[in-house]
Every structure is written in C-alpha cells, then in structure tokens.
C-alpha cells in the first residue's frame, strides 16, 4: 500500500512565523500535491509538483510556496503565517500525470494565533 | 475528533441498511471519477474509481454508478456498518490542463447500531 506521511498532526504557530509542512511518500510517485481543507469548501489545491524541482500553482497559491528537492518529499512553506491560513493541510501523491487516483496523508491541523 | 465539515448534508441509516450517496459533477468533459472516504481526524481514503467509458463498477460492498447524461455519480454501500460512518466525497478529473482532480464538498454518513 502507498504510504504518505506528514511531519505533524497538529501545529500551532503565531502570526508572522515561517511554517514548514513536510510530506513524504514511499511509492516512487511522480506527482505530489498540497491541499487545504476548510468546512464547506472541500479540498482546494494549493500547489502541485510533477517532478523533482518542478512545481505548478494550484487554485489558491497566494501566501504559500513549495519545495521538491527529492522525489519522495514535498514541502509546503508558509512564508509569513496569517490567521486565515488556519486550516487542515493535506498532502497527496499519484503515480503519474493524467487523472490518476491520489493517495492522501493523515493531514496536519495548523492553527495560526 | 476533528470535523471536516460543519454544514455537510447528512445521510443517517441503520446498521444493515443499504446506503446511497450522490454527487453531481460539474464538467461534461470529465473522464475519471473517484470516491473517497474521510473519517474524523484522518486523511481521505480511496474507495473506488470509475472511468467514463463505464456506467457501473463494483467493489467489496460498494458500487459506483455513473450517469453521464445528467452528470451524476452515486456510491452505494451494501449492508452499512458503524465503521462506514464518515464523510464521503467524489472527485472528477476534468480532463483539462494538467488534469487536476476537482473534489466535491462531501456527504456525512451516520450509521446507527
């Protein structure tokens, strides 16, 4: 089975802090994704990556950046955390491009005070 | 546990009943669909998928039906169990651009013993 792990289940940060969320997958998947999940809004795509060092903006990239230095690892960075970035963050991976099913990590519940 | 949606439509059933969860998708060009299950405090878990050249696909205790004419997808769960209690949401591959998945907001299934 695919395993996607995220570095923290719960995180509390202060406004203005730089925040790193880490995601690792163990199945040699090409694609990795970062979503945020908010009540009533469903999953919204922040950034995705289809290869090492490649990244593409999703639907809501503002206030975020990403890094993919190794195939198995995809990091989400909040340059200066704000209270409206309080959310559940979900990482996912899929084998290759083109509408493949995505496998999700357990999520990180981030609270920005 | 964490709630993934405070105002989700809810389906309440008795243990042993069959459950039907519906999803209206947005894009007539979508060619691939997935159902996910998300338990409280966890990441989404893949259940079953279907491609647009099919109208029905069965798994273990689950069946997905696709009606392309009215852009409707349904998930049927046979002999529903308390462990099926979760939020269920559909995803579609809109077959545009990078072929990102677009996720619905979900339906909460509550199973009473």
| pLDDT reading at B33 higher than 80 | yes
Q: How far is B80 from chain A (nearest CA, A)?
A: 24
**Mean pLDDT of successive 10-residue stretches along chain A, which has 113 residues:** 89 97 94 92 92 92 96 97 97 81 95 97
Report the 10 Å Cβ neighbour count for A16: 10
Mean pLDDT, residues B39-65: 95
Q: Which residue, A2, A4, A38, A5, is CA-closest to A110? A: A38
> Most B CBs within 10 Å: which of A21, A40, A43, as the mutation test of the B interface?
A43
Question: Any idea what DSSP says for residue A40?
Answer: T
Q: In this structure, what token pair is assigned to residue A10?
A: 């719960």
| pLDDT reading at B52 higher than 80 | yes
Mean pLDDT, residues B50-63: 96
Question: Any idea what DSSP says for residue A83?
Answer: G
Question: CA–CA separation, A91 vs A45, rounded Å?
Answer: 10
Q: What is the pLDDT of residue B78?
A: 97
Q: What is the pLDDT of residue A54?
A: 92
Taking phi over 0 as left and psi of -120 to 50 as alpha, with beta for the rest, B38 belongs to beta
Q: How far is B96 from chain A (nearest CA, A)?
A: 10
Identify any residues that bridge with B24 across adjacent strands, giving them in sequence order. Answer: B72
* pLDDT digit string, tens, across residues B7-29: 689 999 999 999 999 999 988 88
Question: Which of A40, A88, A97 is nearest residue B2 as measured by Cβ atoms?
Answer: A88
Question: Which of B34, B36, B43 is nearest residue A106 as measured by Cβ atoms?
Answer: B43
> Most A CBs within 10 Å: which of B5, B24, B25, B44, as the mutation test of the A interface?
B44
Q: What is the pLDDT of residue B41?
A: 87
Q: What is the pLDDT of residue B4?
A: 42
* pLDDT digit string, tens, across residues B57-101: 999 999 999 999 999 999 999 999 999 999 999 999 887 666 678
| pLDDT reading at B5 higher than 50 | no
> Per the CB < 8 Å rule, is B98 touching A50?
yes
């Amino acid at each position: 089975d695919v395993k996607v792990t995220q570095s923290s289940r719960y995180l509390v940060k202060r406004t203005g802090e730089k925040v790193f969320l880490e995601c690792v997958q163990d199945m040699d998947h090409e694609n990795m994704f970062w979503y945020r999940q908010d009540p009533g809004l469903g999953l919204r795509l922040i950034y995705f990556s289809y290869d090492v060092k490649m990244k593409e903006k999703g639907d809501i990239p503002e206030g975020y950046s990403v890094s993919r230095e190794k195939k198995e690892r995809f990091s989400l960075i909040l340059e200066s955390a704000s209270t409206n970035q309080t959310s559940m963050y979900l990482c996912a991976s899929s084998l290759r491009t083109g509408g493949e099913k995505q496998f999700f990590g357990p999520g990180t519940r981030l609270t920005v005070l | 546990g964490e709630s993934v949606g405070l105002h989700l439509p809810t389906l309440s059933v008795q243990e042993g009943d069959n459950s039907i969860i519906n999803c209206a998708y947005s894009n007539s060009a979508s060619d691939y669909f997935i159902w996910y299950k998300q338990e409280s405090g966890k990441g989404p878990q893949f259940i079953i998928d279907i491609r647009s050249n099919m109208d029905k696909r069965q798994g273990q205790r689950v069946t997905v039906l696709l009606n392309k004419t009215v852009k409707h997808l349904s998930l049927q769960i046979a002999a529903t169990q308390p462990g099926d209690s979760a939020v269920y949401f559909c995803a579609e591959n809109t077959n545009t651009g990078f072929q990102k998945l677009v996720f619905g907001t979900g339906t909460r299934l509550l199973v009473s013993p």
